[in-house]
Amino acid sequence: MSDPKITAGIDIGSITAKAVVMRDGNILGTRVRFTGYNAKKAGQDVLDGLLSEIGLMPNEVATVVSTGYGRNAVDFADKAITEITCHGAGAWFINPEIRFVIDVGGQDSKVIRLDNNGKVVDFAMNDKCAAGTGRFLEVMARALEMDLEAFGDLSLAGTPAKISSICTVFAESEVVSLIAKGETRENIIAGIHESVASRISAMARRIGIVLPIMMTGGVAKNKGILQAMEKKLGAPIVVSGYAQVNGALGAAILAGRM
């Protein structure tokens, strides 16, 4: 009988770096930290921190796969794989019924269609504009002088204010105008979430939506975004407890196939 194979996945996003360590298809642990200005150091630190936490030495890890926008900076990884492939693999591992993945990251958003074996059939990506991303939400939170963590619950109590611009700069101006007119924070945030959901749902329809749908990425923890997306798509959306580390999870899974 062969020794258990230990693998690691590292996802370097624009805001956070994530790591997942697995042994023979079982998740041993996960870790998240801010990326900062040095993607390579973030990747090394997040993996070292996780290995220390679960009591493993770096030389016990057989294969490391990196993903995310900073994947090529992780020069100690055995292979770099695109986040499209990794998010598909991670979602399918969590739930093999999933056929469509929506990933809202810090600097881009992606929609991914999977086949019955979890392979990527088609995808679309918004990586040229901040609208519809985590960065867009951060900018809006600053304009409202609010903690982004409070956005989700607060928006559920609001009626969406109209925010027509798809450009972050102009949308921020619209939010400032709404504040000046005395619009409530709840309504403004609900409007922001509806704007994000409209952009992503349009992208999803371009490649053809197939149920069931899973949402991944840190933004998936935002209940307001989730509700707005479900309303726009007319379908329930699954969010796993591993949503934020889903890309790193997929990377660790793919490392196990190498």
Domain ranges of the chain: 6-88+245-255, 97-239
Q: Which CATH number fits domain 6-88+245-255: 3.30.420.40, 3.30.56.10, 3.40.50.880, 3.30.2350.10?
A: 3.30.420.40
Contact in structure between 20 and 27 (CB atoms under 8 Å)? yes
Which contacts (CB < 8 Å, 24+ apart) does range 126-131 have?
126/199, 126/200, 126/203, 129/166, 129/167, 129/168, 130/168, 131/166, 131/167, 131/168, 131/171, 131/195, 131/196, 131/199
Residues of the chain by 3-state class (helix, strand, coil), percent to 5: 45, 20, 35
Predicted TM-score (pTM) of this structure: 0.89
Q: Strand pairing partners for 32?
A: 18
How far is the C-alpha of 64 from the C-alpha of 5, rounded, in Å? 11
pLDDT tens digits in sequence order for the chain, 258 residues long: 345 799 999 999 888 999 999 998 899 999 999 998 899 999 999 999 999 999 999 999 999 999 998 999 999 999 999 999 999 999 999 999 999 999 987 778 899 999 998 899 999 987 656 556 777 788 888 888 887 777 877 888 788 888 776 666 677 778 888 888 888 888 988 888 888 888 889 899 999 999 999 999 888 888 888 999 999 999 999 999 999 999 999 999 999 998
Nearest CA-CA partner of 230 in 185, 200, 189, 188: 200
Q: Cis before residue 212, ω within 30 degrees of 0?
A: yes
Residue 60 DSSP symbol? G
Q: Which CATH number fits domain 97-239: 3.40.50.300, 3.30.420.40, 3.90.580.10, 3.40.50.740?
A: 3.30.420.40
pLDDT of residue 2: 45
What value, to the nearest 5°, has the Cα angle with vertex 63 and ends 57 and 65?
Answer: 115
- Compute CA 25 distance to the chain's CA centroid, rounded to the nearest angstrom: 22
